[in-house]
Amino acid sequence: MAKLLIIDDDAHLRESLAEVLDLDGFECHQAGDAKEGIAAAQKLAPEVVIMDIQLPDSSGFQICQELRKRSKTMILIMMTGRFLSSEEKTQGFELGADEYITKPFDLAELSVRIKQLLSRNAPRG
């Protein structure tokens, strides 16, 4: 069972997402801000981290950069509520982001995408 960490300051969003993904067989953990999120990631070493770009104490891209330093294989999915310019997206990819999802997102699609990304990592891991 793949471990999955959700970092978002919106508790409802965290919980709703976690419970949906729980149904799909993921072990979901949650964090409310960047500090908590990084700490959880260190402790749990999740295969997938879904984080909001805008967090109260930091930018999602900074967490992304931080986590990517520690793990090359960790799947980092960025959540956003607004349009991102292609520059922002490119910058994000360079910092290590694997995927972007725009709220509200199609959960079935997301689930499939995560599984696909995990399956790609599996042979190497």
Partner 1 sequence: MATRRRGKLAYKIIFWFLLISLIPMGVVGYYLINVSQQSLHNETLTMQGSLAVGFADTVDKYVATFRNVMTETASLDDFTSMNPAKQQQYLNRILQIHLAVLELSVLNDKGVETLRVGRFLGPNPELRDFRREDLFNAAVGPKGQYVGRLERFQGLYPTVTVSVPILDARVQPARVAGALAARISLNPLSTMLSMEFPSTGSSQAAVVAPDGFLIAHSDPKEIYRPDARLSDDVLRVVTTQASERGSGDMALADGRRMLASFAQSRDLGWIVYVQQPVETANHSADQMRAQIVKFFLIVAIFMVLFSLAMANHITQPIRLLKEAADRLGRGQFEDMPEVVTTNDEIGDLAQTFLGMSDSLKEKTGELIHAKQELEKFTKFLEKRVDARTRELRSAQDELIKKERLAAIGQMASVVGHEIRNPLAVINNSIYFIKTKLSTGVEPDPKISKHIKIIESEIQQANGIINEILTYSRQRDLKPERVSLNAWLEELLSVYPFPPHIVLEKHFDLVSVNVEIDTTEVQQAIRNLIGNGIEVMPPPKGGKVTIRTAIPEPGWVRIDIGDAGGGIPPDVLDKIFAPFFTTKARGTGLGLAVVRKVVDRHKGRVEVESKMGVGTTFMLYLPTVV
Torsion of CA 45, 48, 49, 50, to 10 degrees: -160
Nearer to partner 1, 104 or 125 (CB): 104
Which residues of the chain form contacts with partner 1 (CB under 8 A)? 10, 12-13, 16-17, 19-20, 23, 81-83, 85, 102-105, 107-108
Nearer to partner 1, 13 or 118 (CB): 13
Nearer to partner 1, 10 or 99 (CB): 10
CB of 99 to partner 1, least distance (A): 16
- Dist CA 53 CA 17 (whole Å): 16
Cα distances (Å, whole numbers) of residue 95 to 37, 47, 77, 78: 17, 17, 12, 11
Q: How many CB atoms lie within 10 A of CB 120?
A: 12
CB of 91 to partner 1, least distance (A): 15
